[in-house]
Structure 1
Amino acid sequence: MTSSVPWSERLSTGTEAIQDDVVRWYQDTRRGKAYVPAMIWGTLQTEAYATVILGQVVDFLGVPNDVPAGVAKRMQRQEVLYDGAHHYDVVLGEQALYTNIGGAEVMRPQVERLLRELRLDSLTLGILPTTAPVDLFPVPGFNVYGDGDRVHVELVSSSVDVTEQSELALYDKAFAALSSAASYGDAAEELLRKAHSFWTSAPPQG
């Protein structure tokens, strides 16, 4: 089964309520997966990065502006990385390290956080190099929740939840292809340090 809910409906009261839902999804998922091609996975975002992202959501969709509350909930959801009860396999596209969210003053600390968290016991973090050959056509980002029984995909106008077993199997297959092409460990660290050097030398935004 696939269900779609417009963002205008999900965010009708602002960003905090939906973050409550996401906190619960992460707490209920002991082993999760995520592929995020062009931005930083929400559970690894710094407070400054999340503030810019949620501000853009509010401005674009015209929903109530409760960004500080939404950011606070996003930070709360990150507790699953440190409680010893969860593990997440995450593949970030290398583009995510360069997509300009708030300028160098936001991006440099964000990449520094990724460097600090790269070898967390609760995290398997891969970086998919821009030029890496992947045995899969380009696909949008997705999150696997509920220990594999639900996939969440975010579109421009709506969010989509997939629960049909045959469809879930395709997402598992896609994640396997993406993760097999990604760089891990020292190779991932090298890509992160390259991005950090870029943002260190980049001029301030504005």
Structure 2
Amino acid sequence: MSTDHQQARAALGARMRELRDESGLSGRALAARLGWTQSKISKLENGRQTPTMADVRAWAEGVGRPDATAELQGRLRTVETQYRSWRRQLAGGYLPVQEAHAAQARRTGVRRSFDPTLVPGLLQTADYARGVLSRYTRVHPSISDVDAAVAARIERQQVLKDRKRSFHFLVWEGALVSRLCPPAAHADQLERLVRWLVPGHVRLGVIPFEAPLNVPAGVGFSIHDDVLVITESWHAEMWLDDPADVALHCRAWNALAAGAVYGPEAHRVIVRAARTLPGNH
């Protein structure tokens, strides 16, 4: 967990404790009023647990300050902008996550992204997306709404039709050969990518294995209007809006982009990846 996230959560907890102190309620009394355990009160106030939106609303009402709900929820959004635990996000299934990304896509005018292991979500076919999302259930086995999430991901791709927006995707060749769906679906996915090799408001660059790299490939990320970066690890997704964090990812993207090929050269790399599939040698 990042230091920035810890500090933001601690600040939220301190404000919640301040509101409780002002109400004259003890932690035990507030816990009884809300039907919570006293340990939850303590963890929230000491920044050891991230509350939900419902939690901060109940807190404001419990201490007799419903007018503080908006403030607390605003502080919570700041915490969640930086660090979003997959365990918490996926508690409601894949669909809400896809909807959150769809909302961000509608807010973004210029998007740049880098993907080292997967075809970008906005460029995925339904069968490829199903293969990817179903494999994540091995890490998060409680998820059962893969089909709904696939449908939402495909619907999100409508944003690509808006020529007022700009998209620049960088894909590492490893993403093209990673086996995340049946061979036929994989072949269809590679064929689908070819359509995006024609110059336009959507630009696709491929970084071949043999390309000299200015920086290690690292993890995938997307940059939105140069003010927000979305990246992830196995345990969390980070939405980073600190200018220094955004600038760092912009430097990484520029360094990676220097090794990308486009048009016919990118087509040759995609064909090379297709030849690795069974029956295509």
Q: Please give the range of the TM-score, normalised by the shorter of the 2 chains.
A: over 0.9
What is the CA–CA distance in structure 2 between the aligned matches of 1:138 and 1:32, rounded to whole Å?
A: 19
Contact 1:128 1:182 in 2 (8 A): yes
Q: Normalising by the residue count of structure 1, what TM-score does the alignment of the two structures yield?
A: 0.92
Instruction: Label 1:197 to 1:158 Cα distance change in 2 as closer, same or farther (>3 A).
Output: same
Which consecutive segments of 4 or more residues in structure 1 shift more than 6 A? none
% same residue: 26
What is the CA–CA distance in structure 1 between the aligned matches of 2:199 and 2:124, rounded to whole Å?
A: 15
What residue ranges of structure 1 are gaps of 5+ in the alignment? none
Number of aligned positions between the proteins: 202
Contact 2:116 2:217 in 1 (8 A): no
Once the two structures are superposed, residues 173-202 of structure 1 have per-residue CA deviations (whole angstroms, 9 ceiling, x without a partner) of 111111111111111011112222332625
What is the CA–CA distance in structure 1 between the aligned matches of 2:280 and 2:215, rounded to whole Å?
A: 33
Q: In terms of mean alpha carbon deviation, does 106-115 or 161-170 score higher? A: 161-170
Contact 2:217 2:256 in 1 (8 A): no
Q: By percentage of residues, which structure has more strand? A: 1
Number of the residue aligned with 1:90:
169
Once the two structures are superposed, residues 79-108 of structure 1 have per-residue CA deviations (whole angstroms, 9 ceiling, x without a partner) of 111122221111000001100011312210
Q: State the superposition RMSD in angstroms.
A: 1.6
Q: Is structure 2 residue 264 aligned with structure 1 residue 186? A: yes
Q: Normalising by the residue count of structure 2, what TM-score does the alignment of the two structures yield?
A: 0.68
Contact 1:19 1:73 in 2 (8 A): yes
Q: In terms of mean alpha carbon deviation, does 89-98 or 126-135 score higher? A: 126-135
Once the two structures are superposed, residues 153-173 of structure 1 have per-residue CA deviations (whole angstroms, 9 ceiling, x without a partner) of 110011112111112111111
Q: Is structure 2 residue 140 aligned with structure 1 residue 57? A: no
Number of the residue aligned with 1:152:
230
Q: Residues 100-119 of structure 1 correspond to what in structure 2 (within 5 A)?
A: 100-119=179-198
Q: 1:5: Cα distance to partner?
A: 1.6
Number of the residue aligned with 2:159:
80
Which protein is bigger by CA-based radius of gyration? Answer: 2
Q: Is structure 2 residue 210 aligned with structure 1 residue 131? A: yes
Contact 2:95 2:148 in 1 (8 A): yes
What residue ranges of structure 2 are gaps of 5+ in the alignment? 6-81
Instruction: Give SS of 2:254's match.
Output: helix
Q: In terms of mean alpha carbon deviation, does 50-59 or 9-18 score higher? A: 50-59
Number of the residue aligned with 1:68:
147
Q: Residues 16-31 of structure 1 correspond to what in structure 2 (within 5 A)?
A: 16-31=95-110
